[in-house]
Structure 1
């Protein structure tokens, strides 16, 4: 019997996180070393792929590494994450979402955007495990995010590791220099989110605009927030919560993440 895999929520930060691990990188590496051997595929949800009219899953045998950003150092554009894809799993994911009432399909050429491959460089650095990416619906609402997470939840029992990649806070209008002091509102929003996750309070997380402190300032647009709700909806109240205390990058990007479910003991090696 395949053991139930955890759901992992990660804050992927700036694209420079790929080469500047900061506080969060080593913590994600430590999580990666504890991934159960039962992982057959990794399914990533990223706000950098949103589709109108239906949801798509990457179906390429060898998805390309998409450098979907501009104005960064040349070294970032040379990075590759050569994990294989898995067309059969892509079809299975699409069917699972269709059963939940979503219009779905498989995209045969779509690669992995930086919301996927940047954190996976730490979680699964050897890129051996097949990786799929599923788009978020556009526009997305709290109700759709919860439905999506619940539709994907059963994959945890089939050997699929769900990685929801976003940013716990994401106000690029206030982006600061590396090393600048963290904004107080970021600390307060992050503390609220952590408490809600630890309490398995999906209701509050789904309605964060009304309930969280500084919600609009923390997320002027909320596409980077919804992966957290998707992750929480794919978990349940019996899942232990492990905090990935990644600190705050550039003064305004909370790099906090969460493991929802069981990892292998610390001494066990990674599958990645």
Structure 2
């Protein structure tokens, strides 16, 4: 059974960078069984109804500005998989999750920047999935859990976001790490490793500096989705954690 994963996607320029985190992502395909398809929840695709990407070939969305020209030339022409789309929607229906298809939308940078590091040849089918910031955390977890059985069919489930994501507090020239960001992530780490979902669902009222770390929750949601997909065995492993620009977290969680 392939584990599910949470990847922080950081700034869009991460796809051009060479550091310990991007090294981990680039080596991922060499140490992980090749999946038959990839399901990816992106923090940058928000819908009020769970939406399932079904484009024949995805366009590449450049949903950012002010970065290197090279980024705007990159493409990730992956295609969806209608069989997997059907399986996803059937599972959602079985678990009481309403879903719709979108056959037009491309891949935003929360999806393609991560995928280009993981599988640069874009030769594995991808089913992009939206997130809904208005749902309670318990329901986010259940959405991921609804798809867990697909892991037994060699489908890789990924949540792409960031545990600490506050663009207003970034220091673009800083090489230091803000203590409040570390304290929040330390709390998250302890609760995820203990699989303390009760505390995680209430993180906003319990975790230190939650307001600073998660001013809006769309980037945190993919962690709960990926964790839900790992509910069968409830084993979590932090593979990496570092920071960009003082407090933008780059973390990778594996859920077996």
TM bracket, shorter-chain basis: over 0.9
Give the CA deviation at 1:59.
0.6
For residues 71-115 of structure 1, give each alpha carbon's deviation from its aligned partner in whole angstroms, at most 9, with x where no partner exists: 222211111112222122122212211221122111111111111
- Structure 1's consecutive aligned runs of 4 or more residues displaced over 4 angstroms after TM superposition are none
Q: Work out the CA distance in 1 between the residues paired with 2:86 and 2:192.
A: 31
Q: Work out the CA distance in 2 between the residues paired with 1:83 and 1:213.
A: 39
2:4 to 3, 7, 13: 7
Equivalent residue for 1:24? Answer: 21
Q: Work out the CA distance in 2 between the residues paired with 1:244 and 1:77.
A: 30
Instruction: State how many pairs are aligned.
Output: 256
SS in 2 for 1:45: strand
Instruction: Confirm or deny: 8 A CA contact 2:58 2:76 kept in the other structure.
Output: no
Shift of the 32–189 alpha-carbon distance from structure 1 to 2, 3 Å rule, reads farther
Equivalent residue for 2:253? Answer: 258
Equivalent residue for 2:199? Answer: 204
**Alignment map for 1:215-254 (pairs within 5 Å):** 215-236=210-231, 238-254=233-249
Q: Work out the CA distance in 2 between the residues paired with 1:151 and 1:67.
A: 30
Equivalent residue for 2:41? Answer: 45
Q: Work out the CA distance in 2 between the residues paired with 1:21 and 1:152.
A: 33
Structure 2 residue runs without a partner (length 5+): none
Instruction: Confirm or deny: 8 A CA contact 1:176 1:250 kept in the other structure.
Output: yes
Give the CA deviation at 1:237.
6.4
Q: Work out the CA distance in 2 between the residues paired with 1:103 and 1:239.
A: 26
Structure 1 residue runs without a partner (length 5+): 262-272
1:121 to 101, 113, 116: 116
Q: Work out the CA distance in 1 between the residues paired with 2:133 and 2:249.
A: 24
TM score, norm. by length of structure 2:
0.94
Is 1:35 paired with 2:49? no
RMSD: 1.6
Instruction: Confirm or deny: 8 A CA contact 2:7 2:253 kept in the other structure.
Output: yes
Q: Work out the CA distance in 2 between the residues paired with 1:248 and 1:167.
A: 10
TM score, norm. by length of structure 1:
0.89
Is 1:75 paired with 2:70? yes
Instruction: Confirm or deny: 8 A CA contact 1:202 1:232 kept in the other structure.
Output: no
Equivalent residue for 2:83? Answer: 88
Instruction: Confirm or deny: 8 A CA contact 1:202 1:233 kept in the other structure.
Output: no
SS in 2 for 1:189: helix
SS in 1 for 2:147: helix
Give the CA deviation at 1:236.
2.6
Give the CA deviation at 1:196.
1.4
2:153 to 155, 158, 175: 158
Q: Work out the CA distance in 1 between the residues paired with 2:62 and 2:91.
A: 29
SS in 2 for 1:182: coil
Equivalent residue for 1:143? Answer: 138
Give the CA deviation at 1:256.
1.2
